[in-house]
Structure 1
């Protein structure tokens, strides 16, 4: 009996370690992220139709930085730079940033102030810039953005977010009745070259797996709730 219990305990202890090693594998991480990104391949600027507004989702700026006078760009910073590129190529006369605080206990800290500074610093005139700073998640991004657009008689948007996040984002923005052209950025998929770097489990691979799993859970939750 003690032997059986001992084996059960060993299995229970080993399972979390095995899961950790599995999702820390480069091939596994790349497979998971590609299931999200492959649906939205890169779009060239010249292929983007003219629209009413370029809408860029938050999640690209660190609002918790110790030096708030500096805009600290995160790994999803392509969202910001690509939206400026779209604006400079006159794909829409307005640029709207949507994103408040996604930090549960830090609601006074918002990305919106840093986003405004970023866009102004990169040459977007203030008269052509709209900032939505109260939304806390993707669903609220869509709701608050739709309110602003309806107030201004606008409906056709270019939606800019990370490729892995586009499926859920596109669904909720279309649910609000908006005409959406997806412009994915911030691709995480990499070419797989079998070597020691890809065979040995890594923190980077675990991070990619975590992003993909979190996004798939978000998609399933949004579908169950009827958000998309």
Structure 2
């Protein structure tokens, strides 16, 4: 009986999710629309959203970004003077101001701390100000400082860069600090899907960074999981940021940022 309850809880709760309900309503409306042209256009719009919110499209886009950057264990990571951590994992417009609220990319900062405690790096350089267009009151690097200290990083081993607004500026501003501090070796820590663009920006600044990709977002498509076949807002989110990353990569190439 418990197994049946588990199965039903997984299947029936799908009908509580906005996207599956939306597609069911669309399917119903397709039979109500009389005009053939209107029906075809409506179908195309629904099919576009379906593809965008499917695991197959989301995984294809994000795995294409990650495939050249396989995971590295902490033990296999090379030693360096400093770990360069790219921002993008702390919510700067959270309603909770008493503490840093981490987003899905939290692995960036937690893995940098792991490298530090494993003796792989001597210092952590966190780079990231505010990437918001109309609000820069809270800078991500400033919010990260208390978290780093609470998780055992000495304040003297923390370096903050809070001026940069995007990946290109991360590299430019970080390069200034590296030249000033005279660091000789550095590990770049960022999400695997972001590493293609990030590494290019830092190498453009003549920084021969060692890479430590983290925060993998691709799926195990051959797992047979039922959830892989149901459109969801999670897959739509993956498609959205993967498209943004691909566009960003090609725009940065056009701008000679990498």
Partner of 2:116 in structure 1?
Answer: 87
Q: Match for 2:182 among 128, 131, 153?
A: 153
> 2:244 pairs with 205, 209, 214, which one?
214
> Map of 1:17-96 to 2, 5 A cutoff?
17-96=46-125
Q: How far does residue 110 in structure 1 lie from its aligned partner after superposition? A: 1.3
Deviating more after overlay: 44-53 vs 90-99: 44-53
Q: What's 2:164 paired with?
A: 135
**Tell me, which stretches of 5 or more residues in structure 1 are unaligned?**
1-5
**Greater gyration radius:** 2
Aligned CA RMSD, in angstroms, stands at 1.4
SS in 2 for 1:45: coil
Checking the alignment, whether the CA contact within 8 Å between 1:155 and 1:179 is kept in structure 2 is: no
**1:177-209 deviation line (CA, Å, top 9, x unaligned):** 112111011111121233542222111111111
SS in 2 for 1:93: strand
- Select 2:135's aligned residue among 106, 131, 136: 106
Corresponding residue for residue 199 of structure 1: 229
Residues in 2 aligned to 1:86 and 1:44: alpha-carbon distance in whole angstroms: 10
Q: Using a 3 Å threshold, how does the CA distance of structure 1 residues 155 and 138 change in structure 2: closer, same or farther?
A: farther
Cα contact 1:155–1:178 (8 A) shared by 2: no
Aligned to 2:250, the other structure's residue is in SS state helix
1:109-120 paired onto structure 2 within 5 Å: 109-120=138-149
Equivalent residue for 2:154, pick from 125, 146, 150: 125
Count of matched residue positions in the alignment of Structure 1 and Structure 2: 223
Secondary structure at 2:247 match in 1: helix
Q: CA deviation at 1:25?
A: 1.1
How far apart are residue 129 of structure 1 and its match? 0.6
CA distance in 1, matches of 2:130, 2:43: 37
Q: Displacement, 1:14?
A: 3.5
TM-fit CA distance, 1:169 = 0.3
